[in-house]
A and B are shown apart, each in its own frame.
Chain A
């Protein structure tokens, strides 16, 4: 029997207070997520239960009980306090998926800081943009990423604490702190800061069509949604071995790779290694993973390797599978039934929503290719793109819209209230995705409503790529769009007009690719570059990405009456 039982019944009767009651949220004035993910589980009698089994790419294994999580996160919280980090200060986590990332996240929250996780593959410009916007005070990082931090730190006057978790015996530079978890004095007792439920907790940056990335600011009470969605959608049971493959540099990795799982007191496994089909199957077999939350890109990569390789491993421990990041195509759902004897359940949400809002539930009839239905407590619909009125006719495409008020909804964009307020129309939060709803209430994803590129489940802003491209010595102007890709859904394609004196060549193409990869991130690196004499523009000089995208996707070009050179 699944945790949710009857979806229809829960949808009619559920109130968020039910989740609060289960969590005993607010008992003794405690609202801090850090407490609910460690100390509370210990107090309930599971101090010796494994919370985290971590395996590195070399096969090294580390195990942590809930009491270990409690003590290690206390230790990091105290380290931050002792070094002058105060309540409300932003503390960036810039690490691979090492244990300190998970422990540091809880530690930051316990001392009242705002955790700002960033994907460790970000290049220095992407890192600078996000630290500068957040006016981040401290960063916890590894030696391998320190070079990027050192190159930008002089431009970040607020960044005064650089904590390195694996430093060697060299003397720390100015503002650097060497910290080794294994050698640190363990802090058994720490007064978790009693923040209110509306106090900021996590800042996750996400990309938009224009301007710089925006920091979606979440609050401690987001745990009310993250806890119950983990329980009902991911169907976490006390004896589960849970594997969320997402990196905590992105929101899935914190909402469901830390908060949701540990608030439910389950044992989770983490593999800090690059993707490999057999490596993943061997990992599931070794740890007898029961619940697996992954992404369509990974599932499609597994599909490419076929069914024969699946049969080499005992994957019978798998009880429930779910997917997030981009729409899960029907073929992948059908394939997973053949490969694992059960389908992947698609879940839909965003950095801004903080938790799953539309999804397929255990026990519910799955329509392969559909996103499922609204989570109980969430009012979801599609609205007309002009009037923002709900669309009543089944099958009609509109914008996905949510009635504000679910607990994990972002409270603002950091330093960008205007853009935040622009997300609300006619009393609805507009997600920026297009969908239809069928006559049984299932949502069917159609695509983005803007130029943001969804590559392997991560949003990449074209403006950020184009701005970085202009810094390359050969680039006169550029446009970045999403190009269809069978594995990643979209990959970045750049159209580039060169400056006089430069000629298109394979070497130049590779040079530009690497330039963007190092400056921004591998996700932002154009996987295809087309050199063009000039770019299509409106008469006011704005590049018409829409036209380039339509050509690339073989879609109707639409109205080009404003084209400059038509």
Chain B
């Protein structure tokens, strides 16, 4: 199940935040915020995607750059609020 969720998030990041012809590798450990793939403003749209997809409400004070800095970090965050 966790693998499916990882893939779902990785696919979304690739589709929405990388150029179509980008050769940048994204895996569960790839730095998303600190690498600039997702900037702090775009975190809002990523947060919205996660909330809609997993039917959760992530409090703003939990949506920190560190919490969004990799797919693995995001999964840890989601686990706080869902039963994934």
Q: Which residues of A contact B (CB under 8 A)?
A: 57-58, 96, 121, 143-145, 147-148, 272-279, 301, 304-305, 455-456, 506-507, 509-510, 513-514, 517-518, 522-523, 525, 527
Given contacts A275-B65, A276-B65, A304-B61, contact A121 B39 (CB under 8 A): yes
B61 to chain A, nearest CB (A): 7
Q: Which B residue's beta carbon lies closest to that of A513?
A: B45
Q: Which B residue's beta carbon lies closest to that of A279?
A: B34
- Is the C-beta of B31 less than 8 angstroms from some C-beta in chain A? yes
B45 to chain A, nearest CB (A): 5
Contact of A274 among B21, B23, B36, B44 (CB under 8 A): B36
Given A274-B34, A276-B66, A277-B65, 20 further pairs, Cβ under 8 A? A57-B31, A57-B34, A58-B35, A96-B36, A147-B19, A274-B38, A274-B40, A275-B65, A276-B33, A276-B34, A278-B66, A301-B40, A304-B61, A456-B41, A507-B52, A510-B45, A513-B48, A517-B45, A523-B41, A527-B41
Given contacts A144-B24, A147-B19, A513-B45, contact A273 B35 (CB under 8 A): yes
Given contacts A57-B31, A274-B33, contact A510 B42 (CB under 8 A): no
Given contacts A121-B39, A144-B24, A276-B69, contact A525 B44 (CB under 8 A): yes
Within 8 A of A (CB), among B12-60: 16, 19-24, 31, 33-36, 38-42, 44-45, 48-49, 52
Main secondary structure of the interface of A (DSSP, over half): helix
B31 to chain A, nearest CB (A): 6
Cross-chain contact B19 with A509 (CB below 8 angstroms): no
Q: Which residues of B contact A (CB under 8 A)?
A: 16, 19-24, 31, 33-36, 38-42, 44-45, 48-49, 52, 61, 64-66, 69
Cross-chain contact B45 with A147 (CB below 8 angstroms): no
Q: Which of A145, A275, A525 has the most CB of B within 10 A?
A: A275
A308 to chain B, nearest CB (A): 15
Would you give 22 A-B contacts (Cβ < 8 Å), ordered by A?
A57-B31, A57-B36, A144-B19, A144-B24, A274-B33, A274-B39, A275-B65, A276-B34, A276-B65, A276-B66, A278-B66, A304-B61, A456-B41, A506-B52, A509-B48, A510-B45, A514-B45, A517-B45, A518-B16, A525-B41, A525-B42, A527-B44
CA distance A346 to B23 in the complex (A): 42
Cross-chain contact B41 with A522 (CB below 8 angstroms): yes
B48 to chain A, nearest CB (A): 5
B81 to chain A, nearest CB (A): 17
Cross-chain contact A147 with B21 (CB below 8 angstroms): yes
CA distance A529 to B22 in the complex (A): 30
Cross-chain contact B36 with A510 (CB below 8 angstroms): no
Residues of B within 8 A of A507 (CB): 52
CA distance A143 to B21 in the complex (A): 10
Residues of A within 8 A of B34 (CB): 57, 273-274, 276, 279
Given contacts A144-B19, A507-B52, A514-B45, contact A275 B36 (CB under 8 A): no
Cross-chain contact A522 with B22 (CB below 8 angstroms): no
Q: Which A residue's beta carbon lies closest to that of B24?
A: A144
CA distance A279 to B16 in the complex (A): 26
B32 to chain A, nearest CB (A): 8
Cross-chain contact B49 with A510 (CB below 8 angstroms): yes
CA distance A121 to B64 in the complex (A): 20
Given contacts A147-B22, A273-B34, A276-B69, contact A522 B52 (CB under 8 A): no
CA distance A116 to B22 in the complex (A): 25
Residues of B within 8 A of A279 (CB): 34
CA distance A517 to B38 in the complex (A): 11
CA distance A440 to B39 in the complex (A): 41
Given contacts A276-B65, A522-B41, A525-B41, contact A510 B52 (CB under 8 A): yes
A430 to chain B, nearest CB (A): 30
Cross-chain contact A525 with B33 (CB below 8 angstroms): no
Residues of B within 8 A of A455 (CB): 41
Residues of A within 8 A of B61 (CB): 304
Residues of B within 8 A of A278 (CB): 66
Q: Which B residue's beta carbon lies closest to that of A521?
A: B41
CA distance A145 to B41 in the complex (A): 18
A54 to chain B, nearest CB (A): 14
Residues of B within 8 A of A277 (CB): 64-66
CA distance A278 to B67 in the complex (A): 12
Residues of A within 8 A of B40 (CB): 274-275, 301
CA distance A239 to B35 in the complex (A): 30
CA distance A121 to B24 in the complex (A): 16
Q: Which B residue's beta carbon lies closest to that of A121?
A: B39
A310 to chain B, nearest CB (A): 16
Q: Which A residue's beta carbon lies closest to that of B37?
A: A274
Residues of A within 8 A of B38 (CB): 274
